[in-house]
């Protein structure tokens, strides 16, 4: 009787959530001592002054409440979500029906764009204005680029930071901030680093992709991870070229100067925000056009079944390299904007953790779903900025990864396809789960080629 109670799906999920929360609470709490070994859970042992004071000091109560709320929402959604969603759209809408909803979606996108343009004037706060660039816009740009590689083409890339680094270092090189002389002998403006950076990252994408994309799955992940590390080590060790571990602090602000039109970026963050917003919009348009084109369909085919795709005349290597190069382009842009806005760069900012951070944004938002990835990146990055700006007592920056990790685990249990999943991805996951229910062997068998 008790066994069956604990085996019920909602109860099992509740136990998992409580377990995750307990671990998170213990890790983020103050260190215990001989006298109070469990202070990781309980926090401060000051006597609660009032009923509400108890909530402030007894951390486990707060965590328990959070867990119950999260569990309640998730259970509600698993039980009634399908009915709610069914009202909005039919799950089996074919190619024709989708286009009928297009004007609505374009209108929605335009409304969001207007909001995006007005945003820095709405948040009239110096920290948040700069956070919009350094925490949000840059990461959105990176996340939508990685989404092309991971979400559209289904390639796990753990070295995405390399393209960001190449973009940033190209900016430094073009503006003459590195020990190596700039191209054509004289320093160019940072704005002109953009075409250089895009060409460089696309070439880097092809160079890395062509030999390695023959690998599949885990093998590819390891190779890309290595590539990311190689770029950082190069930046660190090629002292005469990159400036070594101290990097450079002399990257000028960009100036746009064509004919009579001249605009110079300065220290103020808002103009950079618009530069980044413009790039985000540009890449959103490019990526969504690609997703709907035959390139996008070929990516889907390769992601779903590479052998079948090849039997239809699709060259998997060509399309994978294409995904790599196209996805890298937005990272190159992001590199240029960051380098010229910050004026400095160090090799130590381009680490593996950075790549994983971007990957987390993509997974949480919903792989393959452009809107999901944008929303996911905005939420996570705003929370991160908030926590760094106004940290709760006892919060330290590394704690963030624990929270994000817990969030990731919870998401994988309740919403494996992400926050706003792409319809296709959701189907893929449901179909996969259905086809493997009770037949764990099928993962290994069922492959006739």
Q: Which of 47, 339, 73, 305 has its CA nearest to residue 200?
A: 339
CB 169, min distance to another protein, A: 25
By CB under 8 A, residue 92 contacts another protein: yes
Taking contact as CB under 8 A, which single stretch among the options 92-100, 131-139, 203-211, 369-377 is the one that binds another protein?
92-100
* β-bridge mates for residue 255, sequence order: 264
CB atoms closer than 10 angstroms to residue 75: 15
Taking contact as CB under 8 A, which single stretch among the options 7-15, 203-211, 305-313, 398-406 is the one that binds another protein?
305-313
By CB under 8 A, residue 260 contacts another protein: no
Q: Lay out the site mask for another protein across 11-40 (x = CB under 8 A, - = otherwise).
A: ------------------------------
Structure token digits, residue 256: 């746009």
Residues 59 and 394: beta-carbon distance below 8 Å: no
Structure token digits, residue 420: 């706003």
Taking contact as CB under 8 A, which single stretch among the options 225-233, 301-309, 355-363, 407-415 is the one that binds another protein?
301-309
> Using the rule CB under 8 A, which residue among 28, 129, 236, 300 binds another protein?
300
Where do we find the tokens 């000091």?
57
CB 356, min distance to another protein, A: 27
Q: Which of 163, 213, 208 has its CA nearest to residue 320?
A: 213
By CB under 8 A, residue 438 contacts another protein: no
> Using the rule CB under 8 A, which residue among 193, 201, 322, 411 binds another protein?
322
Nearer to another protein by Cβ, of 121 and 294: the residue is 294
Q: Which of 309, 297, 331 has its CA nearest to residue 205?
A: 331
Radius of gyration for the chain, computed over Cα atoms and rounded to the nearest angstrom = 24
CA 305 to chain CA centroid, nearest Å: 25
Write the CB contacts of 319 (distance below 8 Å, at least 6 apart in sequence).
153, 295, 298, 299, 302
Nearer to another protein by Cβ, of 248 and 300: the residue is 300
CB 402, min distance to another protein, A: 34
By CB under 8 A, residue 215 contacts another protein: no
Nearer to another protein by Cβ, of 194 and 326: the residue is 326
Taking contact as CB under 8 A, which single stretch among the options 56-64, 122-130, 394-402, 427-435 is the one that binds another protein?
427-435
> Using the rule CB under 8 A, which residue among 246, 315, 348, 397 binds another protein?
315
Residues 420 and 372: beta-carbon distance below 8 Å: yes
Residues 366 and 421: beta-carbon distance below 8 Å: yes
By CB under 8 A, residue 89 contacts another protein: no
By CB under 8 A, residue 343 contacts another protein: no
196 vs 184: CA distance, rounded Å: 13
CB 321, min distance to another protein, A: 11
By CB under 8 A, residue 281 contacts another protein: no
Its sign, for the CA torsion 399, 403, 406, 411, is: negative
Residues 345 and 169: beta-carbon distance below 8 Å: yes
Write the CB contacts of 313 (distance below 8 Å, at least 6 apart in sequence).
none
- Site of interaction with another protein (CB under 8 A): 92-97, 286, 289-290, 293-295, 297-298, 300-301, 304-305, 307-316, 319, 322, 326, 424-425, 427-428, 431, 446-449
């Amino acid at each position: 009787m008790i066994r069956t109670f604990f085996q019920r799906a909602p109860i099992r999920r509740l136990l998992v959530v409580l377990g995750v929360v307990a671990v998170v609470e213990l890790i983020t709490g103050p260190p215990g001592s001989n006298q109070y070994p469990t202070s990781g859970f309980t926090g401060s042992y000051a006597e609660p002054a009032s009923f509400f004071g108890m909530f402030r000091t007894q951390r486990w109560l707060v965590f328990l409440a959070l867990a119950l709320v999260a569990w309640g929402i998730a259970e509600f959604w698993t039980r009634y979500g399908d009915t709610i969603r069914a009202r909005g759209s039919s799950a089996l809408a074919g190619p024709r029906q989708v286009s009928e909803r297009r004007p609505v979606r374009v209108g929605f996108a335009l409304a969001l764009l207007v909001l995006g343009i007005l945003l820095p004037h709405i948040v009239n706060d110096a920290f948040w204005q700069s956070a919009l660039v350094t925490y949000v816009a840059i990461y959105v740009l990176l996340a939508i680029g990685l989404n092309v590689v991971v979400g559209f083409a289904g390639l796990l890339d753990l070295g995405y930071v390399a393209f960001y680094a190449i973009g940033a270092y190209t900016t430094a090189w073009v503006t003459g901030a590195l020990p190596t002389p700039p191209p054509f002998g004289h320093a160019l403006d940072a704005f002109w680093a953009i075409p250089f950076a895009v060409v460089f990252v696309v070439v880097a994408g092809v160079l890395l992709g062509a030999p390695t994309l023959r690998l599949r799955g885990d093998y590819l992940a390891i190779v890309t991870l290595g590539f990311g590390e190689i770029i950082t080590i190069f930046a660190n060790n090629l002292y005469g070229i990159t400036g070594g571990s101290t990097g450079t602090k002399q990257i000028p602000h960009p100036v746009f100067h064509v004919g009579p039109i001249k605009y110079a970026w300065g220290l103020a963050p808002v103009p950079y925000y618009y530069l980044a917003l413009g790039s985000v919009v540009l890449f959103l348009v490019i990526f969504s056009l690609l997703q709907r084109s035959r390139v996008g369909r070929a990516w889907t085919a390769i992601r779903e079944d590479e052998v079948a795709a090849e039997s239809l005349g699709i060259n998997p290597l060509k399309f994978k390299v294409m995904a790599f190069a196209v996805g890298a382009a937005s990272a190159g842009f992001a590199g240029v904007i960051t380098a010229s806005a910050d004026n400095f760069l160090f090799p130590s900012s381009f680490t593996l953790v950075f790549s994983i951070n971007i990957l987390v944004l993509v997974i949480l938002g919903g792989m393959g779903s452009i809107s999901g990835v944008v929303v996911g990146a905005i939420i996570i990055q705003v929370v991160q900025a908030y926590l760094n700006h106004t940290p709760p007592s006892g919060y330290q920056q590394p704690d963030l990864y624990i929270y994000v990790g817990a969030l990731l685990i919870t998401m994988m249990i309740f919403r494996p396809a992400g926050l706003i999943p792409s319809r296709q991805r959701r189907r893929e996951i449901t179909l996969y789960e259905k086809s493997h229910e009770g037949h764990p062997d099928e993962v290994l068998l069922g492959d006739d080629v």
